[in-house]
Amino acid sequence: MSKEPPARYPNFVVNKHTFTMNTLLWILQGFLALTFAYSGFMKSSQEREKLVSAGQTGVANLSYPIIRFIGISELLGAVGITVPWLTGILHILTPVSAVCFAAIMVMAMRIHYRRGEYWSVTLNVLLFAASVFVAYARFREI
């Protein structure tokens, strides 16, 4: 493997540790993007009752405009956590999207905790941790 990164891939690395970390970050970014894209699509296109029956019980007491806003935010975040880093354009948007996902998870934890849905809180904590890790690591690379 050449020591010089190809011009087309400015983030190409040959250090094994850095390569492993970058791979882990891409796996987490892909997982977060898919998770939030699915959730965002559902929230921006489905009725509240269908969302609740599909397991997204946190929206039960939210107004439709708030549900739609959260859904659109999640869809935009799914794009923002992957596309900027992939294209090399506006890298800052990737960790900013991860921070926004973490903020959404804090609000979701609060809602689910008040409803006594501790399993959902656990999932929110895991998504929060993944988001914070991606944000921290990608901010360090900028």
92: which residues sit within 8 A by CB, 6+ positions away?
Answer: 84, 142
Q: Among 44, 106, 49, which Cα is nearest to 73's?
A: 44
Cα–Cα distance for residue pair 2/91, rounded to 1 Å: 25
Write out pLDDT tens, residues 34-61. Answer: 999 999 999 999 999 999 999 999 999 9
Do residues 43 and 73 make contact, with C-beta atoms less than 8 angstroms apart? no
Instruction: Inform me whether the pLDDT recorded for 129 exceeds 90.
Output: yes
Query: pTM value?
Result: 0.85
Mean pLDDT throughout 66-91? 96
CB 59, CB 43: distance < 8 Å: yes
> In the block, which residue shows the tokens 């690591």?
137
